[in-house]
Structure 1
Amino acid sequence: MKALLSSRPVLWFLFLFNLVVAAVAPFAVDGTQGLVTAAGMGAVSLGAGAGLLRGHGQGA
């Protein structure tokens, strides 16, 4: 499972999908729930982005 989650295509999907959801959530869901959703999805997106940057120097 770790090998799957650390593969570049999965990290790109997690990064982009969660970034879009984090940007749209405050407008799609009212109140605190939208803000908490945006914060959670943003955190996952940042983690995936960090994984992409960390693996940048490694070969495919």
Structure 2
Amino acid sequence: MKALLPSRPVLWFLFLFNLMVAAAAPFVIDGAQGVLTAAGMGAVSLGAGAGLVRDRRARPAS
């Protein structure tokens, strides 16, 4: 499992899926629960996006 999480396809999936859920949550779920869901999913999406940027910087240019 540890080898699967930092792979680029998994990070892209986490980034895009959680970003879509974070954008839709306030419209689908009412009240504070929708806002908190959006904030949590947005945090996961930002973390995956940071992993993608960090991985891109770590690779040497070919």
What TM-score bracket applies, with the shorter chain setting the length?
over 0.9
Question: 5+ unaligned residues in a row in structure 2: which ranges?
Answer: none
Following superposition, which runs of at least 4 residues in structure 1 exceed 2 angstroms of deviation?
A: none
Question: 5+ unaligned residues in a row in structure 1: which ranges?
Answer: none
Choose 1 or 2 for highest CA Rg.
Answer: 2
Instruction: Tell me the TM-score normalized by structure 1.
Output: 0.94
Deviation at 1:3, TM superposition (A): 1.6
Cα distance in 2 for residues equivalent to 1:56 and 1:2: 19
Cα distance in 2 for residues equivalent to 1:56 and 1:41: 23
Q: Does residue 40 of structure 2 align to residue 32 of structure 1?
A: no
Percent identity at matched positions?
A: 76
Q: Alpha carbon RMSD of aligned pairs, Å?
A: 1.0
Match of 1:55 in 2: 55
SS of equivalent to 1:2: coil
Output the amino acid matched with 1:52: L
Q: Name the count of aligned residue pairs.
A: 59
Deviation at 1:39, TM superposition (A): 0.1
Cα distance in 2 for residues equivalent to 1:39 and 1:16: 15
